[in-house]
Structure 1
Amino acid sequence: MVRHDTFTISRHLDVPPGEVFTAFADTAIRRRWFRLPGSGASYEHDFRVGGGETASSTYTGLDTAPERLEYRSRYIDIVGPHRIVYGYEAVVDGELRWTSLVTVRLGVDPDGTRLDWTEQVTFLRYEGDGSVDLAHLRGASVLRLNGLDAALHTGRPRQQRR
């Protein structure tokens, strides 16, 4: 069985859309906010239509055996600085757990950017009715966007924030 879900997270970021777009495109900035949990992580990033990103790490939770995590994405549509559409796969210990289509929309907002992150996910393996897996994925996306916001302000004095 599979489970399909969709969620949207909206954020106001107090920098212009071009800076937010750059945080997705520039690999050095991206590494400050896009990370897999665990140790021994490796990343490759090619920000162009048809390009994508691969990442892997080993995660060890409390009282659990280590898990090998893999992330593989492909950029489908990039319209800077307004929109990024990509698909990705999440693999744990060699097993495809879920795949998603993500649309990131960046719009001008008073004093910054309105970011809308919409994710359409297909869970291929999940626990129980899948509601815990969806909550986990949504929570991880919120944390990732928190990291994006922090990365946008790294090295920027507080009084210069827009």
Structure 2
Amino acid sequence: MRMSARQAEVEPGDGPGVRHDTFTIVRRLDAAPAAVFAAFADSGVRRRWFRLPGSGAVYHHEFRVGGGETAHSTFSVLDSDPERLEYRSRYLDIVPERRIVFGYESIVDDLLRWTSLVTVLLADDAGSTLLTWTEQVAFLVATGDGSADLPHLRGGTTLRLNGLAAALAPDPGPRRRGPA
């Protein structure tokens, strides 16, 4: 099998092997737990906040225990070959309006880079939702020395949760331009 230059940079070899990390992000969302849960469950709403970077994205989502999501896209960066991104998940536990547990794989250019177990807890907090996202990740292939892998994943998750908050925000209606 022929590897791209990018794959050669991250191909596993005699390095340290698998690295495990865990992180937790806690967010207060201005929506009831039922609305937050629906934003995970409803594929139309989910597309407003859960997206792979790049272009040509294709998604399939089945929100049920044993179901999951697959997504593919192509991500281009200046002065670099495009990357083929793939996401595959499987729902392990769903308690409506309270908990979602799923595992997922992140694949770049046909190379499994990391896999994670994610627990999303939703708690009612006076009409809003306290969301706790805990991710246990196994980095199978490091980028360079691996020092940027966890910050990259945590940052991407933070951006995704920012998108969730935006998807839950009430529609402000049409905007007026210029003076009245």
What is the TM-score normalised by the length of structure 2?
0.85
Higher strand share: 1
Q: Deviations over 1:16-41 (max 9, x none)?
A: 00000000000000000000000000
> What is the percent sequence identity of the aligned residues?
67
> When the two structures are superposed, what TM-score results if normalisation uses the length of structure 1?
0.94
Post-superposition offset of 1:110: 2.7
Q: Does 1:20 align with 2:46?
A: no
Largest Rg, 1 or 2: 2
What is the distance in 1 between the residues matched to 2:27 and 2:130?
6
Moved more, 148-157 or 92-101: 148-157
| Offset, 1:111 | 3.7
CA 1:59 to 1:73, structure 2 compared with 1: closer, same or farther past 3 Å?
A: same
Rounded to whole Å, the distance in 2 between the matches of 1:14 and 1:26 is 18
How much does 1:130 deviate?
2.0
Instruction: Output the CA distance in 1 between the equivalents of 2:61 and 2:108.
Output: 20
Large movers: runs of 4+ above 6 Å: none
Query: How many Å separate the matches in 1 of 2:117 and 2:33?
Result: 21
In structure 2, distance between residues paired with 1:156 and 1:30: 19
Aligned equivalent of 1:60, options 66, 76, 81: 76
Aligned-residue Cα RMSD (Å) equals: 1.1
- Secondary structure of the 2:148 match is helix
One of 139, 154, 167 as aligned partner of 1:151: 167
Would you say how many aligned residue pairs link Structure 1 and Structure 2?
157
Task: Compute the displacement of 1:154 (Å).
Answer: 4.9
Q: What are the ranges of 5 or more consecutive residues in structure 2 without an aligned counterpart?
A: 1-16, 174-180
